[in-house]
Structure 1
Amino acid sequence: MYRKLIIIISLLFLLSSITIEAQCAMCRAVLESSENQQTARGVNNGIMYLMVFPYLLIGVIGFAIYRSRKKTK
């Protein structure tokens, strides 16, 4: 039962990611066709801003694990 649940949830995640990628491609196409470069620059800055936080989170967690392991030794 538990294995079936994991398989179903994994399939749902895989199927939903296809839709998300399509939306990003559509946003890019709309911004490339528009004349307003300020809007395109703003969206690009927003994407870069959103990409920073997962890397910062991984870095902070990695540093916390490193520091806790160093204290125990």
Structure 2
Amino acid sequence: MKVFSTSNIFSTLATVLAFASSTAAQCAMCRASVESTISNGRSNLAEGLNTGILYLLLAPYLCFMVIGYLWYKNSKKQTAQRLALATRLKSILGKK
């Protein structure tokens, strides 16, 4: 049973990205500043602040995903090398 199949990973990623647009995380001071700016009729500051927060939130997750992918690829390569070595040893020892 393959738990981390490609379709599972992509469906999870699509679900996370679908709900990420409605996320709005702000500290109390930033929220007060944005609310006063919105009451004056300028909403571009609030949108920019929310976008910046989401970019800052995305960076660590992206780093972990890249590190995990590279780790996975390296593990697969080492497993293939071990398997090739084991089959080579079996063929050498089996001939004697």
TM-score (norm 1): 0.61
Cα deviation code 1:32-66 (max 9, x no counterpart):
23232111111111111111111110000000111
- Structure with higher Rg: it is 2
Cα RMSD after superposing both structures: 1.6
Percent identity over the alignment is: 49
- In structure 2, the partner of 1:30 is 33
Calculate the TM-score normalised by the size of structure 2: 0.48
Instruction: Report the count of equivalent residues.
Output: 51
Deviation >2 Å, runs of 4+: none
Structure 2 unaligned blocks of 5 or more: 1-25, 80-96
Structure 1 portions without partners, runs of 5+:
1-22
